[in-house]
Amino acid sequence: MQTVTFAPWNDPNEKPLIRFQNVTKKFGDFTAIGDLSLDIYEKEFFALLGPSGCGKTTMMRMLAGFENPTQGRIELSGQDIVPVPPNKRAVNMMFQSYALFPHLSIWDNIAFGLRRSDMPKNDIVDRVEEMLKLTRLEKFARRKPHQISGGQRQRVALARSLAKAPKLLLLDEPLGALDKKLRQDTQFELMDIQEKTGTTFVIVTHDQEEAMTVASRIAVMDEGRLIQVATPDRIYETPNCVYVADFIGDVNIIEGRATSVGPERYRIDWSDSLPPLTATSATPFSDGQGCHLAIRPEKVSISTERPAEADNAVEGKVLDIAYLGNLSTYHVELPGGTIVKAQTANTRRISRRNISWEDSVWLSWTATAGVLLAE
Size of the site for another protein (CB under 8 A): 32
Q: Enumerate residues 6+ apart whose C-beta is below 8 A from 87.
A: 116
Q: Which of 12, 78, 83, 102 binds another protein (CB under 8 A)?
A: 102
Q: Which is nearer to another protein, 168 or 372 (CB)?
A: 168
Q: Which helix (H) or strand (E) holds 197?
A: helix 180-197
Is the Cβ–Cβ distance between 72 and 242 less than 8 Å?
no
Q: Which of 3, 5, 10, 87 binds another protein (CB under 8 A)?
A: 87
161 binds another protein (CB under 8 A): yes
What is the rounded CA–CA span in Å between residue 141 and residue 127?
A: 13
Nearest distance from C-beta of residue 145 to another protein, angstroms: 9
Is the Cβ–Cβ distance between 155 and 135 less than 8 Å?
yes
Q: Which is nearer to another protein, 90 or 327 (CB)?
A: 90
CA 184 to chain centre: 14
Contact window for another protein (CB under 8 A) among 41-49, 99-107, 241-249, 259-267: 99-107
- Whose CA is closest to 285, among 374, 369, 375? 374
Q: Which of 68, 147, 283, 360 binds another protein (CB under 8 A)?
A: 147
Binding mask 54-73 for another protein (x = CB under 8 A): ----------xxx-------
Q: Which is nearer to another protein, 17 or 178 (CB)?
A: 178
Q: Which is nearer to another protein, 28 or 262 (CB)?
A: 28
Nearest distance from C-beta of residue 99 to another protein, angstroms: 4
For the chain, strand residue ranges (E) read 18-27, 30-40, 45-49, 71-76, 79-80, 91-94, 168-172, 200-205, 217-222, 225-230, 252-262, 265-269, 277-280, 289-295, 301-303, 312-323, 327-333, 339-345, 360-365, 371-373
How does DSSP assign 73-131, residue by residue? EEEETTEE-TTS-GGGSSEEEE-TT----TTS-HHHHHHHHHHHTT--HHHHHHHHHHH
Cα angle, residue 255 at apex, residues 249 and 261 outer, rounded to 5° = 110
149 binds another protein (CB under 8 A): yes
What is the rounded CA–CA span in Å between residue 42 and residue 199?
A: 8
Q: Which of 112, 141, 184, 237 binds another protein (CB under 8 A)?
A: 112
Q: Which of 34, 53, 72, 86 binds another protein (CB under 8 A)?
A: 86
Give strand pairing partners of 171.
Answer: 94, 203
Q: Which of 36, 74, 132, 148 binds another protein (CB under 8 A)?
A: 148
- Whose CA is closest to 210, among 251, 175, 172? 175
Contact window for another protein (CB under 8 A) among 45-53, 84-92, 233-241, 307-315: 84-92
As a residue count, the chain comes to 375
Q: Which of 160, 183, 206, 267 binds another protein (CB under 8 A)?
A: 160
Q: Which of 95, 125, 184, 249 binds another protein (CB under 8 A)?
A: 95
Q: Which of 56, 127, 155, 164 binds another protein (CB under 8 A)?
A: 164
Give strand pairing partners of 293.
Answer: 254, 372
Q: Which is nearer to another protein, 150 or 275 (CB)?
A: 150
Q: Which is nearer to another protein, 148 or 220 (CB)?
A: 148
Interaction site with another protein (CB under 8 A): 64-66, 85-88, 91-93, 95-97, 99, 101-103, 112-113, 116-117, 144, 146-152, 160-161, 164
